[in-house]
A and B are shown apart, each in its own frame.
Chain A
Amino acid sequence: MTETTMDRVTALGLRALPHLVLFAALLALWELAVAIGLIESIMIPRPSRIGAAIWELYVTQRTIYFHFAITMTEAVVGFLIGCGVAVTLAVSSSLSETFKRYVAPYAVVLNVTPGIALTPIIIAWFGYGMGSKIALGAVICFFPIFVNTLTGLLKVDEEREELFHSLGTTPFQLFMKLRVPGALPLLFAGMKIGLTTALIGAVVAEFTQATDGVGVLMSRFSFQLNMASSIASLLSMTVIGLILYYSMELLDDRIVFWRREARMTATSRARARAWRRVMGD
């Protein structure tokens, strides 16, 4: 067991090695180009400077954690609100044809309007604090989630539906056991887009007017021409994006377990174990 794990680690290391070499070579080339003056160092700082700025922000000064938490909270809360409204409206639209008909035009209007254009107005409404960033994130992440959920809920395999009917299911069971599982993969695809979009909303609102957050930090640094720290804050946004994306991916993997073979086997095994325990085996 330990051996196979070791093997896997070695294999992974061997595969990652060329990537790391290339990355190091690129950094060295960049460093050299700045050092001999090929690239202007004020505008595009050396990688070692950026490394130093990251060290400063994360270890010696530790200023970034506060802003990091603010931006991440804004994105997540905005996403949760937008997602809640989107899913509620999508479920209602899938249940009632009339409701869908009268909500659809407004959803389309909201979609074709670039949501970012609302930034100044939302800041005027909700103030300079976190509220406006959350609201902007919620507004712009609404549509992809709404459209994906609705598409998923409406797209039902007719043969399966017939099978459900012939087995005498109630409408509620039909919804929970047929429509919802069918819609989940698309819902998650929408939520992944929505979460990234909510982060964009939070950051843009921070650029426009704010006091705290990674976006503020970054625009302040770049207007001071402290490019190294500015790039370091940009990389922090990438980290936030990666954290959000992969946590959604993890949830997707756990909840929509039937899409991946390995997950499905594991889940069915766990269920079988639980079943056996209940039966007192």
Chain B
Amino acid sequence: MAVAEEITEAGAADAPRRGNVWRRRLLTHLAIFLAIVTLWETGVRAGWLDELFFPRPTDILVSFWRIYISQGNVWYHLYISLGLVLAGFVGGSLLGVGLGAIVGFNPLMRRFLQPYVIVLEATPRIAVAPLLIAILGFGAQSKISIIVLVCFFAPFINTLSGVVNVSPEKLELFRSLGVSKLQTLRKLVLPDAVPVIMAGERLAMTAALTGVLVAEFIQRDVGIGSLILTYTRNLNMASAFACIFTLTIIGFAIFKGMEIADKRIAFWNHEEGRERLSARRRRAFEAKGRA
């Protein structure tokens, strides 16, 4: 009890100091960032940097205003691109996890598919894009199939290795206890495989965003990728940069979103998730005890 009090006291005394350090660091970060931006702005204004290639930060801000508010044209392209990303990601990851599980549970299939998997791994998969466009024609279906293709691989490999890399000792223990196959899957294979699969899904999501951009660069019709391409061709670099920073924000949101999904789905792999689960179980146990 006394120890606990000491700790909380020390923590309380520490808190404002830590807050100060944190605030000072944030200020330094902001100062450096502002210095870079100012240097860039003055560099362009003074003519050291070519404005055609390095647009001024203020111009980029104005472009943000234009593409989001006064013209508002970026929304439509974002809507198209993100819809494709979502569709391709869902399709690709379902296919990847499904096939990965089938191949993982089937040793014969695994042996015969391995050489093809190695070859596929070495091919820059995005390179199939022109081929798919030629086969399926211009339009959404070829774009979605490109995204499905680039999304497919990481979940496939990770599901495969998650399913295959079950500890043999644990498996033996399960067998000797006469556990049914379904229970082995639920209690042994899935708890170990799901975190690995989720890591694959994260890679797939990043790949999906790359895939949609490449598909749009080649087709050049609608979507954020073709918007960037058009702006660059017109040497409207400020707007192109505004689109790229938009993608940074989207990329960040996706990154955070996948992290949250990982914590929710593979909760036993994270400290808070485990604590939440044990707290719930304790509550349930106590409720049963009272009743």
Contact = CB atoms under 8 A, between A and B. Distances in A.
Given A125-B53, A207-B214, A241-B122, A120 B240 contact: yes
B252 interface: yes
Interface string A206-241: 011000000100110011010100110010011001
A55 B123 CA distance: 20
B126 A208 contact: no
A199 B206 contact: no
A207 B124 contact: no
Given A114-B251, A121-B237, A102 B130 contact: no
Interface string B99-129: 0000000000000100100010111101111
Give the secondary structure class of A's interface.
Answer: helix
B255 interface: yes
B287 interface: no
Interface size class of B (residues with CB under 8 A): 35 or more
Interface residues of A, number: 45
Contacts of A109: 248
B140 interface: no
Contacts of B124: 196, 199-200, 203, 237, 241
A245 interface: yes
B119 A116 contact: no
Contacts, number: 120
Interface in A127-147: none
Given A114-B247, A208-B217, A218 B127 contact: yes
A230 B127 CA distance: 11
Contacts of A203: 124, 126-127
Contact of A44 (B128, B135, B213): B135
Q: Could you tell me the dominant secondary structure of chain B's interface residues? A: helix
Contacts of B28: 102
B217 A112 contact: no
Interface stretch (B71-79, B169-177, B226-234): B226-234
Contact of A113 (B217, B229, B248): B248
B133 to A, nearest CB: 7
A276 interface: no
A80 interface: no
A105 interface: yes
A242 B122 CA distance: 5
Contacts of B25: 101
Nearest to B225: A117
Contacts of A168: none
Contacts of B29: 102, 105
Nearest to A243: B122
Contacts of A119: 213, 217
A218 B232 CA distance: 24
A138 B231 CA distance: 23
Contacts of B233: 120
A18 B112 CA distance: 8
Interface string B125-163: 011111101110000000000000000000000000000
A44 B206 CA distance: 29
B32 interface: yes
B39 interface: no
Max count, chain A CB within 10 A of own CB: residue among B28, B241, B243, B244: B244
Interface string B205-241: 0100110011001100000010011011101010011
B70 to A, nearest CB: 23
Contact of A124 (B119, B121, B126, B235): B235
A22 B116 CA distance: 12
A147 to B, nearest CB: 13
Nearest to A237: B127
A208 B264 CA distance: 39
B129, B130, B213: which has the most chain A beta carbons within 10 Å?
B130
A200 B119 CA distance: 15
20 contacts: A19-B112, A44-B135, A111-B251, A114-B213, A116-B210, A117-B225, A117-B228, A117-B244, A119-B217, A120-B233, A121-B240, A121-B241, A125-B53, A200-B124, A208-B229, A219-B130, A222-B130, A222-B134, A223-B134, A231-B131
Interface of B: 25, 28-29, 32, 53, 112, 115, 119, 121-124, 126-131, 133-135, 206, 209-210, 213-214, 217-218, 225, 228-229, 231-233, 235, 237, 240-241, 243-244, 247-248, 251-252, 254-255
Chain A to chain B: the 6 pairs with minimum beta-carbon distance, closest first? A241-B122, A112-B251, A120-B232, A222-B134, A238-B123, A219-B130
